[in-house]
Amino acid sequence: MGKILISGCLVGDLVRYDGKHVPLTDESLRKWSRKGLVVSVCPEVLGGLKIPRLPAQIVNGNGLDVLEGKAKVVDIEGNDVTLPFIRGAEYALSVAEKYDIQIAILKEKSPSCGVHHIYDGHFDSNLILGFGVTTAILKQSGIKVFSENELDQIPRDYR
């Protein structure tokens, strides 16, 4: 069993845009932590964004579209923050490669880490099917990405 890449906010790091966290209380996470298998990252912070920061969303696409230059990430004031999101995703990938990580657990709905759903880019709380920038780059590299709601789907040898 290898190490697991996990969104920092899920392990209690105060790295969300609002300076808070949304920690998982799952027994599997506690077990992985005890075994030293958890590698936590916050791509947005790794990309150079501050805590707290303005909320951001992907406009006109998903994380793959951002990586391909077809969409951008903007904050609620309309500032283009695409570059820090891409930089953070690339850094998260480099961490995953360093530790030969094959599994990631990322925070659903995030423009970086969303696995199945992200906000629609209008800042009106509407979710759409889609994934974040970091999720896109990890999936492109063959890493299996799960949301915090899918711990039961992680391969048995990790549980």
Would you say residue 69 has pLDDT above 90?
A: yes
Q: Does 69 reside within a domain?
A: yes
For residue 23, is the peptide bond before it cis, meaning its omega torsion is within 30 degrees of 0?
A: no
Residue 28 or 83, more confident:
83
Q: Does 158 reside within a domain?
A: no
Structural domain for 36, as ranges: 4-151
Q: Does 53 reside within a domain?
A: yes
Would you say residue 159 has pLDDT above 80?
A: no
Would you say residue 136 has pLDDT above 90?
A: yes
pLDDT digits (tens, 9 = 90+) for 7-46: 999 999 999 999 999 989 889 888 999 999 999 999 999 9
Please state whether beta strands 4-7 and 38-41 pair in parallel, antiparallel, or not at all (unpaired).
parallel
In the predicted model, what is the mean pLDDT of residues 130-145? 98
- In this structure, are residues 29 and 148 in contact, taking their beta carbons and an 8 Å threshold? no
Chain Cα centroid distance, residue 34: 22
- pLDDT of the residue at 48: 98
As for how many domains the chain has, the answer is 1
**For the whole model, what pTM was predicted?**
0.96
Beta strands in 16-135 (DSSP E): 38-41, 56-59, 72-75, 103-106, 117-119, 127-129
In the predicted model, what is the mean pLDDT of residues 83-90? 98
Q: Does 125 reside within a domain?
A: yes
Q: Does 156 reside within a domain?
A: no
